[in-house]
C-alpha cells in the first residue's frame, strides 16, 4: 500500500445538480481484490499486493519476514513471544490446546474443522466497503447561504441559523449579507445576482427581505438552470438571478409540510419558521425539490428597471447599486455595451445622472483603469470587478459628494467627450 498514493478514496461526479444524487467512483481498490485473491495467511493489513513474503495470520504487530510463531493473528500476542496462542479466537484462552484454524470468528471451541482465514477477511472487507461507500456518499455537506435586511444587532439571524443547524448539524452555513437596507427588495435582488454564480451548484440561498411578511405573497423555491436554489418570498427578489442564471423550475412552499412545528400562529418571522427550515431540509436532502410543494409557472414577480441600451452617440443605463463601503456608483452598463463608445483608458467621458428625470450630476471625467490613475479627491470612471461601468472619487465618496443613490429610478447616460 505504501506504493499506491491514492490507496483508498472516492471521487464524486455531480449529476444535473448536487441535490438529487452523487455518482461515486471508487479508485485504487486493487488492494481489496488483491487481499481476497492472493494466497496470504489472514491478510495482514500492511501486506503489499503481489508480495511473496509469508505473513502470519494478520498479526497487527507482525513485521514483514518475521519468523515468530504466532497462530492466526491473536491481537494480544506480544512480538517475539514464544507463547503458542491458538487461532486468535477471541474466546480462546492462552495455553489452550484446543485446535482452532485461521482465527475464524465463528469458530467454536473444540471444533477441529479447518477454516480458511480469507473467509472472515472477505466478510470484513465487504463491511468496510459498504461503510466507505456510505461515508463517501454522505460526505458532501449541504451549503446554505443567508441574506436578509435584519442586521446583526439582535438574535434574528442567529435564530435562522439555529433552525438550520437543528435540521442538520453538519450543514455548512454562511452569510451573504444582513445589511440590506430595510425593505429594499431591489438591493436584495442585486446582491443575490452579484454572488450566486460564484457558489457551487446545489447551494441553497435563503433570502429574507420581506415587507409583505404574513400576507398572501407566495413563498417559493426557484431552481436555476445552474443548479442553485433560492428560498424567498416571490416579491421581486428573484428578478435578476432569474434572468442571469435562468429558471429551471419553481415550486411554492407547502407550509403544512415545510414549516417548523407549532409556529402556525406566528405571522411575522417566516424567515425562521418557513424559509430557513425549508432551505435547510432541502440542503440536507431530507426533502427533495419536488417535496417542497406544487410546481408553479416558470416566471417570477419582477421589479422593473432600465436595461442598458445604445441611443445614438450615448449609452443609457441605470445605477444598480452602491459599493456601499466606499460610496462608489455601480451601473448596469456592462463592458460589452460600453465598448460601443470606443473609449479606451486615459480618454474622457461625459457622464450625466438623473433621478426620475431630474438632473443630479453632469461632468466630463477621465475613464481609467484604477483609482490611483487620478489625483486624490478627483472623480473618475472605471470598470468594476463585475466589468460594469462605475464612478468613484479617489480616496473619497462619490455618492456622498454628488448626492447620488441607486435603484431603478436612477439613470446614467454616458458619451464620449472628444
pLDDT tens-digit readout, 214-243: 888 999 999 999 999 999 999 999 999 999
Tell the CATH superfamily of the 309-416 domain.
Bacterial fluorinating enzyme like (2.40.30.90)
Q: What percent of the chain has pLDDT over 70?
A: 70
| CATH 3.40.50.10790 domain position(s) in the chain | 143-296
> Would you give the distance in Å from CA 233 to the centre of its chain?
22
From residue 330, how far is each of 17, 185, 196 by CA, in Å? 32, 17, 18
Q: How many alpha carbons lie under 13 Å from residue 93 in its C-beta half-sphere?
A: 4
Indicate if the pLDDT at residue 33 is higher than 80: no
- Nearest alpha-carbon partner for 401 in 320, 326, 317, 319: 326
Segment 76-99, tens digit of pLDDT:
444 454 444 444 443 444 454 444
Please state the length of the chain: 418
- Nearest alpha-carbon partner for 418 in 365, 370, 378: 365
Q: What percent of the chain has pLDDT over 90?
A: 62
- Residue range 173-187: mean pLDDT, rounded: 97
- Nearest alpha-carbon partner for 163 in 60, 277, 15: 277
68 or 210: which carries more pLDDT confidence? 210
pLDDT at 408: 87
| CATH 2.40.30.90 domain position(s) in the chain | 309-416
Third-level CATH fold of 143-296? Rossmann fold (3.40.50)
The answer to whether the beta carbons of residues 303 and 408 sit under 8 Å apart is yes
Q: Is 385 exposed, middle or buried (0-12, 13-18, 19+ CB in 10 A)?
A: exposed
Among 5-9, 246-250, 263-267, the minimum mean pLDDT is found in 5-9
Instruction: Give per-residue burial for 124-149: e unless 16+ CB within 10 Å, then b.
Output: ebeeeeeebeeebeeeeebbbbbbbb
Segment 112-156, tens digit of pLDDT:
444 556 777 877 888 777 666 555 544 478 999 999 999 999 999
pLDDT at 133: 59
- Residue range 259-264: mean pLDDT, rounded: 89
**How many angstroms separate the CA atoms of 330 and 319, rounded?**
6
- Residue range 262-276: mean pLDDT, rounded: 92
| DSSP label of 120 | H
- Residue range 2-9: mean pLDDT, rounded: 39
**How many angstroms separate the CA atoms of 209 and 180, rounded?**
8
- Nearest alpha-carbon partner for 71 in 54, 53, 58, 90: 58
- Strand-by-strand arrangement of the 247-252 sheet: 172-177, 143-148, 204-208, 229-233, 219-224, 247-252, 295-296
Amino acid at each position: 500500500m505504501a506504493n499506491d498514493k491514492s490507496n483508498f478514496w472516492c471521487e464524486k461526479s455531480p449529476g444535473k445538480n448536487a441535490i438529487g444524487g452523487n455518482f461515486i467512483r471508487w479508485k485504487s481498490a486493487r488492494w481489496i481484490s488483491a487481499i481476497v485473491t492472493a494466497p496470504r495467511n489472514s491478510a495482514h493489513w500492511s501486506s503489499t499486493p503481489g508480495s511473496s513474503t509469508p505473513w502470519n495470520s494478520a498479526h497487527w504487530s507482525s513485521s514483514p519476514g518475521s519468523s515468530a510463531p504466532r497462530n492466526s493473528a491473536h491481537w494480544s500476542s506480544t512480538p517475539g513471544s514464544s507463547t503458542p496462542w491458538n487461532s486468535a479466537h477471541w474466546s480462546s484462552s492462552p495455553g489452550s490446546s484446543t485446535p482452532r484454524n485461521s482465527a475464524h470468528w465463528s469458530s467454536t471451541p473444540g471444533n477441529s474443522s479447518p477454516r480458511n482465514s480469507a473467509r472472515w477477511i472477505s466478510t470484513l472487507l465487504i463491511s468496510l466497503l459498504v461503510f466507505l461507500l456510505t461515508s463517501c456518499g454522505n460526505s458532501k455537506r449541504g451549503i446554505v447561504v443567508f441574506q436578509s435586511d435584519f442586521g446583526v444587532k439582535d438574535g434574528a439571524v442567529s435564530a435562522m441559523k439555529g433552525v438550520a443547524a437543528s435540521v442538520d448539524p453538519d450543514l455548512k452555513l454562511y452569510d451573504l449579507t444582513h445589511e440590506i437596507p430595510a425593505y429594499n427588495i431591489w438591493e436584495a435582488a442585486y446582491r443575490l445576482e452579484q454572488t450566486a454564480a460564484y457558489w457551487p451548484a446545489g447551494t441553497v440561498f435563503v433570502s429574507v427581505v420581506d415587507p409583505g411578511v404574513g400576507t398572501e405573497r407566495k413563498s417559493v423555491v426557484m431552481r436555476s438552470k445552474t443548479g442553485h436554489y433560492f428560498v424567498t418570498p416571490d416579491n421581486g427578489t428573484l428578478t435578476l438571478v432569474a434572468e442571469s442564471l435562468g429558471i429551471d423550475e419553481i415550486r411554492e412552499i407547502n407550509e403544512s409540510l415545510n414549516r417548523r412545528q407549532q409556529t402556525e400562529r406566528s405571522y411575522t418571522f417566516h424567515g425562521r419558521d418557513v424559509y430557513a427550515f425549508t432551505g435547510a431540509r432541502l440542503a440536507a436532502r431530507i426533502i427533495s425539490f419536488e417535496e417542497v410543494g406544487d410546481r408553479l409557472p416558470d416566471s417570477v414577480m419582477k421589479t422593473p428597471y432600465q436595461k442598458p441600451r445604445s441611443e445614438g452617440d450615448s449609452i443609457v443605463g441605470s445605477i444598480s447599486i452602491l459599493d456601499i463601503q466606499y460610496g462608489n456608483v455601480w451601473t448596469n452598463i456592462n463592458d460589452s455595451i460600453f465598448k460601443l463608445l470606443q473609449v479606451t483608458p486615459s480618454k474622457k467621458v461625459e457622464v450625466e445622472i438623473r433621478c426620475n428625470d431630474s438632473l443630479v450630476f453632469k461632468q466630463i471625467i477621465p475613464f481609467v483603469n484604477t483609482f490611483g490613475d487620478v489625483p486624490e479627491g478627483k472623480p473618475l470612471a472605471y470598470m468594476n470587478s463585475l466589468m460594469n461601468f462605475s464612478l468613484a472619487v479617489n480616496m473619497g465618496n462619490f455618492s456622498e459628494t454628488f448626492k447620488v443613490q441607486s435603484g431603478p429610478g436612477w439613470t446614467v447616460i454616458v458619451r464620449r467627450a472628444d
